Amino acid sequence: MVREPSVERSDVESVEDYGEHKEVLRRDFWYSCAYCTRTELETRAKGFEIDHYVPISIAPELKHSYANLMWSCGWCNGKKLDLHPPEEAQREGIMFFRPDEHHELDHFTVEADGTIEGLTKCGVFTVEMLELDRDAMNKLRRLREELGTGVASMRMGIRTLRGINLDSLPVDGRMHLLRSLTAAAKMADDLEATWQQLLVNLSKSEDIDPDPAAGAGQKRRKATLDELRAQHPGKWRGREYSRDQKSERTRKTS
């Protein structure tokens, strides 16, 4: 089964400055992070940024190209920075997930407890580099799962009841059903609002309370990156590129 990516990019005119794409980018990305899927609401819009999938330091010619822009939360953009696997590693599938080309279910699996695992090299790389398996994200996914399922099954129940042929019911039953449906719809709305509020509060707490396992995640991230760099000794960061250039300039001038 070929799955369609969840992000379909709008056709846009080319612009002088990529910042002009911000509004259409937000909309195309469903107001959520390209990498960890947190919504603007869940992070209280804190730190959402335009990320360049191929970093500017590596491909300055793509700086204003809409196809290279991703809507990203501050956390993911901060972890990604100008990290970009070299061509050779990408050919093996080692790359950041991108929702405009890949489908989540092909690359990740989420357990009922909210933990996430990469199914492919792309999935594993993205989880490890962006620390998508950190405690706060596991909690967020678990809550989404539990509450989302609750709301969805409630709405499904309401839709099923609405499908009942009212003519087949006695008048009393009809009135009772209509009243119940109205009450149920209101409850589903309330539940959804509560759900959103819970998710917002949870995301907020990540900013205040440091994750006790954060150090371990960072260590694991570094170890994985060191290992990958040993396997694929290309340029992994644009910054190294500039540093090389700089040292070359220094050599030339000295």
Nearest CB to Zn ion, comparing residues 32 and 68: 32
Considering the complex, what minimum distance in angstroms separates the CB of residue 35 from Zn ion? 5
Counting beta carbons within 10 angstroms of the beta carbon of residue 63, is it exposed (0 to 12), middle (13 to 18) or buried (19 or more)? middle
Establish if 151 lies at the interface with Zn ion (CB under 5 A). Answer: no
Helix extents (H) in the chain: 22-28, 74-80, 87-91, 104-107, 121-129, 135-162, 171-208, 214-231, 238-253
Considering the complex, what minimum distance in angstroms separates the CB of residue 99 from Zn ion? 11
Looking up tokens 């390209």 gives 34
Establish if 228 lies at the interface with Zn ion (CB under 5 A). Answer: no
Nearest CB to Zn ion, comparing residues 66 and 71: 71
Calpha distance 79→15 (Å, rounded): 27
Return the SS3 of 182.
Answer: helix
Conformational region of residue 167, where left means phi above 0, alpha means psi within -120 to 50, and beta covers everything else? alpha
Establish if 7 lies at the interface with Zn ion (CB under 5 A). Answer: no
Nearest CB to Zn ion, comparing residues 97 and 236: 97
Establish if 35 lies at the interface with Zn ion (CB under 5 A). Answer: yes
Nearest CB to Zn ion, comparing residues 188 and 203: 203
**From candidates 25, 73, 95, 116, binder to Zn ion by CB under 5 A:** 73
**From candidates 7, 25, 70, 76, binder to Zn ion by CB under 5 A:** 76
Query: How many other β-carbons are positioned within 10 Å of the β-carbon of residue 24?
Result: 16
Establish if 129 lies at the interface with Zn ion (CB under 5 A). Answer: no
Establish if 127 lies at the interface with Zn ion (CB under 5 A). Answer: no
Confirm if 46 and 74 have CB atoms less than 8 A apart.
yes
Site residues (vs Zn ion, CB under 5 A): 33, 35-36, 73, 76
